[in-house]
Structure 1
Amino acid sequence: MKDYLFRTEDIKPEDILKYFVESKADRVVIDALKNRNPTIIVGSRGVGKSFLLRVAQKELLEGLVDSDSKVFPIYLSFVKSSLLQTEDPEQFKHWMLAKLCSATIRALSKAGLLGTIPKSAKILAGTSDVTDLPPTPIETITEQYENSWKKTAEVIDSTAIPSVDDLKEALEDLAEELGIERFVYLIDEAAHIFMPANQRQFFTLFRDLRSHCITCNAAVYPGVTNYGETFQPTHDATTLSIDRDVLSSGYVENMREIVEKQAESSVLKNIAQNGKNFAVLAYAASGNPRILLKTLAAAPKLNSTEVNEAIKDFYLSKIWAEHSALAEKYEGHKALIDWGRNFVESIVLPELKKKNDQYLSDDKNTSTYIWLHRDAPAIIKEALRILSYTGVLMEQESGLKATRAATGTRYFVNLGCLFTQETNPALTGIDIARGLTVKRMTEFGANHSAFKPVLEKKIDIDGVKSFNLANQLKKSISVLDLTSWQKSKLDEMSIKTIEDLLTSTEQKLKTANYVGDVRARQMKNAAFASVFEYLSG
């Protein structure tokens, strides 16, 4: 059986539309990314943020050829920000500017628009001679920052990096010289999730780059993004959440179409024969295509036994392992992370299970929602935000009135986690999912007794002090989200740690049995994507 493509990084940009299953919500996001107003898309890992950025890029590029559009897209990822380890106090700002310049030059060169090098392009390249592209001095600086974890004492000369104002002026001149109406930046992995200082710097730059010929768009994670004081999400950008509504009538069909883009004929046959079991997996994924593909890969026959085992394995073990792993990387958040898990596993899920059993026996609508009072302690809200990052919860609506006219926020509890409370999820999960209503919520007031354990602890939530790259590089590759085959091949080559993998070349990867040029490149891309995803949170 072939491997599913779990990550957008595994798909060639030119092939992205082959895997695109459009929904109304997706179209709203894509059109917003293509429009003039800056847009921030918010979603937990695996919901498709990177994919939609790439779709927007592809559609804009096609528009340059097939229509009179003069909007030029530039996709770039800031996923390597966790590797910056220099003594430069402004390393993140300098690296971001260098990254933007490098990505712009690269995209324009690839599109064949730099046959004659405009003066403004030389500013972006950091040199008066751009005839030797690549690499330009700016690209060299970018690479030096990204390799600084290897040589932390190395001093990087950042004088060639333009200031924000110089960058804006260069882009404005470049747009005029090349006949481009507007540059659209599609920035993935906007900033390291537990480094608030980096996040604030990013959104300051995001705001400062606004111009008649520049639009910045970014993909961020829910709950853990710090916008800073100078950036106002409601005023400085359009913020859109990527949520596939499990209550919509076409939800299961949309998820099935996503699977059809990749699944083999035998799996499609099993889906047709076991539609109810597939629906249970689709509902369990709670709108997350990556999770659906992973659980489907674990249950290709889609019989009840496989489905039950896949749900128990992923939502009892793997999703919580990812959540708890955050505590190892960010010790300042450990008490919050541990309390959040205990809160959901020991209090929220059993309570929802108890209520749903009664609702179903009385032929009433079911629930997977909780509500938190707006005056609940900030530390509790922070814990729930981290749960939203890992996909255990999804923040849905704030300012919502509940019992006694109290105001608070409603959260959606991952259905897969809820299904683990069932003896036979394949049998009873479908009734819970199809009976859901947002009108039923389990409420947690401002001073709920469940909050007491974490309130009694001294908690440092300054993630900057918590993250230690050196410690993470020593971790085994077993912590990475790779296939069994990929891990076995890395083991063959004695690649044991994350650092071993980061320093490996394609040439070394080709020394494994049955790994040629193409597969070595694919394996390197998948492995590195997994490394950077792990390091970023």
Structure 2
Amino acid sequence: MADDLQEEESGLLLAAEECPREEFGDYHSFTRYERTIIQRIMAHGPVLLRGGRGSGKSALLIESYLEMKRSYSSTIVPIYISLRHLPLLRFEGVEYEAHFCRILAGEINKEFRRVGAASFPITRDVGALLQALEANAREMQKRIVLLFDDAAHIGRERPLEDFFDIFRTISTSRISCKASIYPGVTKFGVRFDVFNDATVIDISRDERRDNFHEIFVEILIKRFPQVYRKISSSRSIAVTDFCRLMGRAVTGNLRSFVFACNSMNEFEALGYPELTKCFLSLSGNYFWPLLEEVAPKLGSYEVLVQPAQEIAHIIFSACARRRVSYVLVHRDIMQRQLKIYEILEYAGFVSKKEASRAMKSGGRGVIFSVNLCNLLEMTPGRRLTSELAQNWIDGTDEPFELRDTNSDYSRIEVPVPGVEQDLAILGKPIATLTKSNAYPYGLTEDKVGRLEGAGLDTILAVAEAPDEVILGIYGVGQANLRRIRDVVHQAIWM
């Protein structure tokens, strides 16, 4: 049992929100650029923090929360609220509001007990919630800062309108609201004006910036010292170039970078042959399976995953033939198929760099950088050389231009998404979450068997089961419970 638990706990942390607060500083560091973002989050006024999967949104929110506790305890009461609660995905309107108010009031109570404040009333009404928040802020003579994490879910967009309505309602001079969202979030509701009712901070990392590599160097030194030493002793590639290349390879995604570095521990030395193996392994065993993982989370948009795969193949094949690492997609395509590109961006296949650029062939389009791991897989010879790596690091190539007139592209059939529906992931067997390419952070077969033996045979059943039910299973302790919860949450939420 101890070995089984050690095996589970020795893996990577799934996400920042799963990291114990007392260990958060051991696993996270922030560049000067990110520190400026944290300062903007901590400032007065509502803020929306926008970034893709694994881009560091949760880490920035949590660090802002911890920093406010450290530096402004006499003037600010910060409250971090994870919105990973099933009712918030499954209901809307009055029911959503009631569940939201209950969850928020519970988290406020926890923080108020920590600072010795009076208990906060549990309410199902937003108006009563706001009155209570204002009254407490006046009594304590402090500003209350609410940091909402995982507020958005691409697969269930209707409840988002309810969230942003509440967000706008409870944002006042004494109550500051902050929330993390994905680039694909567009349904803000009729009352919320994203340009006037909040400051939007985009945190995507652009490889064209001089300081692009800094965060990746810090992660390498702090979390992967063995890999850092191997790169430092390499005769073929410098640490800075390695971090620029690998950061560029995963389109600036921190979680994917961590996963890549973890896979490099197996190599005795690191040079271009090992990087070639790493890139190809990530393409086949990490990025393509990500679309398989994402599909059942997308609700009515699940039907778009197949055409997204086909479009990705066209883009990577064309870029590989032309030896370029950027694609410029005509705006007519983007207007019709925006959700497909949001799915590809979420899964780390592409990363938007410019919203509008002139095309040589006429018109304007959106420019994306492409994932170098998938690009290498399509490149003739499938071998990373110092010359190819330097071209990618420099990033000076002209983009491949994608238009409707592309014959392969015009043959792709794109179905129309239906009405919103429950996420397919909820009805999947719990065995779906066994460790695999699609779920690299998954559960062991032993834990899956124990859950199934207790009658918890679907992801929904485990997600809805009270802690005491799971702890009542023989061989499942507190650490196992936390791991099970983390994996299930990661499977459901985007």
| TM-score between both structures, scaled by the size of structure 1 | 0.78
- Matching of residue 424 in structure 1 with residue 383 in structure 2: yes
Provide the C-alpha distance between the structure 1 equivalents of 2:459 and 2:40, rounded to a whole number of angstroms. Answer: 37
The answer for the alignment partner of 2:401 in structure 1 is 443
Partner AA of 1:411 in structure 2: F
1:12-31 to 2 correspondences below 5 Å:
12-31=20-39
1:374–1:266 Cα change, 3 Å: closer
- Matching of residue 511 in structure 1 with residue 475 in structure 2: yes
Asked if structure 2 preserves the Cα contact closer than 8 Å seen for 1:397 and 1:410, the reply is yes
Provide the C-alpha distance between the structure 2 equivalents of 1:353 and 1:35, rounded to a whole number of angstroms. Answer: 45
- Matching of residue 281 in structure 1 with residue 240 in structure 2: no
Provide the C-alpha distance between the structure 2 equivalents of 1:176 and 1:186, rounded to a whole number of angstroms. Answer: 20
Which residue of the other structure, out of 412, 435, 438, is the alignment partner of 2:369? 412
1:360-379 to 2 correspondences below 5 Å:
367-376=324-333, 378-379=335-336
Deviations, residues 371-393 of structure 1 (Å, cap 9, x unaligned): 22223363322211111122212
The answer for the alignment partner of 2:79 in structure 1 is 74
Which residue of the other structure, out of 127, 137, 149, is the alignment partner of 1:175? 137
Residue 457 of structure 1 deviates from its aligned partner by 4.8
Provide the C-alpha distance between the structure 2 equivalents of 1:332 and 1:95, rounded to a whole number of angstroms. Answer: 24
Deviations, residues 112-162 of structure 1 (Å, cap 9, x unaligned): 322xx3xxx4xx423xxxxxxxxxxxxxxxxxxxxxxxxxxxxxxxxx42x
- Matching of residue 105 in structure 1 with residue 66 in structure 2: no
Partner AA of 1:179 in structure 2: Q
1:143-162 to 2 correspondences below 5 Å:
160-161=123-124
Residue 425 of structure 1 deviates from its aligned partner by 2.7
1:251 match: secondary structure: coil
The answer for the alignment partner of 1:56 in structure 2 is 64
Residue 469 of structure 1 deviates from its aligned partner by 5.8
Which residue of the other structure, out of 294, 298, 308, is the alignment partner of 1:326? 294
Provide the C-alpha distance between the structure 2 equivalents of 1:449 and 1:230, rounded to a whole number of angstroms. Answer: 43
1:308–1:492 Cα change, 3 Å: farther
Count of matched residue positions in the alignment of Structure 1 and Structure 2? 467
1:426–1:288 Cα change, 3 Å: farther
Asked if structure 1 preserves the Cα contact closer than 8 Å seen for 2:38 and 2:60, the reply is yes
- Matching of residue 7 in structure 1 with residue 10 in structure 2: no
1:338–1:261 Cα change, 3 Å: same
The answer for the alignment partner of 1:315 in structure 2 is 283
1:469–1:405 Cα change, 3 Å: closer
Residue 34 of structure 1 deviates from its aligned partner by 0.4
- Matching of residue 348 in structure 1 with residue 315 in structure 2: yes
The answer for the alignment partner of 1:223 in structure 2 is 184
Asked if structure 2 preserves the Cα contact closer than 8 Å seen for 1:75 and 1:185, the reply is yes
Q: Which runs of 5+ in 1 are unaligned?
A: 127-159, 357-366, 513-519
1:174–1:90 Cα change, 3 Å: same
1:216 match: secondary structure: strand
- Matching of residue 303 in structure 1 with residue 311 in structure 2: no
Provide the C-alpha distance between the structure 2 equivalents of 1:411 and 1:460, rounded to a whole number of angstroms. Answer: 24
Provide the C-alpha distance between the structure 2 equivalents of 1:208 and 1:379, rounded to a whole number of angstroms. Answer: 33
1:79 match: secondary structure: coil
Partner AA of 2:112 in structure 1: L
2:444 match: secondary structure: helix
The answer for the alignment partner of 2:3 in structure 1 is none
Residue 510 of structure 1 deviates from its aligned partner by 7.4
Q: Percent identity?
A: 21
Provide the C-alpha distance between the structure 2 equivalents of 1:350 and 1:170, rounded to a whole number of angstroms. Answer: 58
Q: Which runs of 5+ in 2 are unaligned?
A: 1-6
The answer for the alignment partner of 1:472 in structure 2 is 428
Asked if structure 1 preserves the Cα contact closer than 8 Å seen for 2:331 and 2:364, the reply is yes
Asked if structure 1 preserves the Cα contact closer than 8 Å seen for 2:327 and 2:399, the reply is yes
Provide the C-alpha distance between the structure 2 equivalents of 1:58 and 1:230, rounded to a whole number of angstroms. Answer: 32
Asked if structure 2 preserves the Cα contact closer than 8 Å seen for 1:330 and 1:467, the reply is yes
Provide the C-alpha distance between the structure 2 equivalents of 1:472 and 1:288, rounded to a whole number of angstroms. Answer: 28
